[in-house]
Amino acid sequence: MEQISLARVGAWLSKPYIGRAKGRVGKMSEASEFRHLVRISGRDLAGQKKLIVALADLRGVGYNFANVITTKLSLDPRVRLGTLTEEQVSQIERAIQSTAKSALPEWYYNRRNDPETGEARQLLGADLDFIQKSDIEDEKNIRSWKGVRHSLGLKVRGQRTRTTGRKGRTVGVRKASLVAAAKAASAKKEE
C-alpha cells in the first residue's frame, strides 16, 4: 500500500468539495465554520444533512413543508445545514414558527380548522403531541365512534381487523406447543 505524503493531503484538502450527488461543486467559505449540531425550535439537528432533510426531522415539519420554507426564504435546499450562518438559521426558525401569518395555502398546515380558534396553524414538537392527545381525549369524552375505538385499543380509521391488529392470545400453531405434544406422544408410547 502506498504512503500518502502530507503535501498530497494538503493539496487534496485545498481543492473544492465535490458532492457525491451529481458531482456538484461547492466550497465552504473560510469565514464560516461548519457546525455538526444546529438548534432549531428546541431540537438539535444534524449539520451534515441537507437543509430540507434536516428540517423534515423536526416533529410537525414534513419534506414538502420544509421545501416551501426554503423556497420562500430563497435558500438552496441542497446546502448542508451546518454551513448556514446564524442569521439564516434564525430566519428559518422565525419562518417555521410564524407560518400562520404567511401567504401559504391552508392545506399546507398540520392543524386546519382548529376547534378553539377556527384558524389554520402549524404545530411543532411537544405542542403537536399535546394537541393530538387532547383531541383523542375529547373524542373519548363525547363517546364518538372514534373515541370508543380509541378507548378499546382497536383500529380507528375503518381498517379490517379480521387478521391484523390482534393483541393478546396468539392464534395458530406455536413451536413450544408442538414440542410439548411430541413429548406427550413419546411418553404414551413408552408406557
23-40 pLDDT per residue, tens: 444 444 444 688 889 999
Using CA atoms, how far apart are residues 146 and 166, in angstroms rounded to an integer?
18
5-15 pLDDT per residue, tens: 545 544 544 44
Residue 78 contacts residue 24 (beta carbons within 8 Å): yes
Q: Domain check: are 131 and 153 in the same one?
A: yes
pLDDT score of 174 more than 50:
yes
Among the candidates 95, 123, 151, a domain finishes at: 123
Amino acid at 14: S
Q: Which three cell numbers stand for residue 181?
A: 405434544
137-171 pLDDT per residue, tens: 999 999 999 999 999 999 999 999 888 887 776 66
Instruction: Supply the pLDDT for residue 155.
Output: 92
Q: What is the sign of the dihedral through the CA atoms of 33, 35, 40 and 42?
A: negative
pLDDT score of 99 more than 70:
no
Instruction: Tell me which residue of 71, 42, 64, 66 sits closest to 54, measured CA to CA.
Output: 66
Q: Domain check: are 134 and 78 in the same one?
A: no
Is residue 1, in this structure, part of any structural domain at all? no
Q: Domain check: are 118 and 140 in the same one?
A: no
pLDDT score of 54 more than 90:
yes
Distances (CA, A) of 30 to 6, 18, 88: 21, 17, 17
Q: Which three cell numbers stand for residue 129?
A: 403531541
Could you tell me which residues come within 8 angstroms of residue 47 by beta carbon, excluding any fewer than 6 positions away?
34, 35, 36, 37, 38, 54, 80, 81, 82, 83
pLDDT score of 119 more than 70:
yes
Q: Provide the CATH number for the domain around residue 98.
A: 1.10.8.50
| Mean pLDDT, the chain, integer | 80
Q: Domain check: are 143 and 118 in the same one?
A: no
For 18-26, what is the mean pLDDT?
47
Domain boundaries, position 131? 125-160
